[in-house]
Chains A and B, each alone.
Chain A
Amino acid sequence: MMAGSIQTDDVRELYRDLILDHARHPRHFGKLGHVTHTAEGINPLCGDKLRLYLDVDANETITDAAFEGSGCAISVASASLLTDSVIGLRASEAMTFFDAVTAQLAGSDSLEGGEVELGKLRALAGVRDFPTRVKCATLAWHALKSALRLDKAPASTE
Chain B
Amino acid sequence: MTHASPITEAQSVVAACRADFPALDQDVSGHRLVYLDSAASAQQPSVVIDAIAYYERHDHANVHRGVHTLSHRATDAYEGARETLRAFINAASTSEVVFTSGTTESINLVAQSFCRPKLGPGDKILITHLEHHANIVPWQLVCEQTGAELLVAPINDRGEVELEALYALMDETVRLLAIAHVSNALGTIIPIKEITAEAHAREIPVLVDGAQGVPHMPVDVQDLDCDFYAFSGHKMFGPTGTGVLYGKEALLEAMPPYKGGGDMILEVSFSGTTFNELPYKFEAGTPNISGVVGFGAAAKYLEDLGMHNVEAWEHELSQYMTAQLSAVEGIRLIGTAAHKAGVQSFLLGDIHPHDLGTILDHQGVAIRTGHHCAMPVMEFFGVPGTARASLALYNNFDDIDRLVAALGKAREIFA
Contact = CB atoms under 8 A, between A and B. Distances in A.
Interface of A: 1-8, 10-12, 14-15, 20, 45-48, 70-74, 130, 132-133, 136
A11 B405 contact: no
Interface in B376-413: 384-385, 398, 401-402, 405, 409, 413
Contacts of B30: 3-4, 6-7
Contacts of A46: 353-354, 369-370, 385
Q: For the complex, would chain B's binding face be called helix, strand, loop or mixed by DSSP majority?
A: mixed
A8 B362 CA distance: 7
A72 B363 contact: no
Contact of A47 (B385, B405, B409): B385
A2 B358 contact: no
Contacts, number: 69
Given A2-B363, A11-B359, A11-B413, A136 B354 contact: yes
9 contacts: A1-B402, A2-B31, A3-B32, A7-B363, A8-B413, A20-B414, A72-B352, A74-B354, A133-B354
B355 interface: yes
Interface residues of B, number: 26
A3 B355 contact: no
Given A1-B402, A2-B402, A3-B31, A74 B384 contact: no
A22 to B, nearest CB: 13
A12 B358 CA distance: 11
Interface in B276-303: none
Given A3-B31, A7-B29, A10-B29, A47 B371 contact: yes
B25 to A, nearest CB: 15
Top 7 A-B pairs ranked by shortest CB distance?
A72-B354, A72-B352, A7-B29, A7-B362, A11-B362, A73-B355, A3-B31
Contacts of A132: 358
A136 B362 CA distance: 17
Which among A8, A45, A70, A130 has the highest number of chain B CB atoms within 10 Å?
A: A8
Nearest to A132: B358
A45 B370 contact: yes
A10 B355 contact: no
A78 to B, nearest CB: 13
B397 to A, nearest CB: 11
A133 to B, nearest CB: 6
Nearest to B356: A72
B354 A15 contact: no
A133 B398 CA distance: 28
B414 A14 contact: no
A49 B384 CA distance: 10
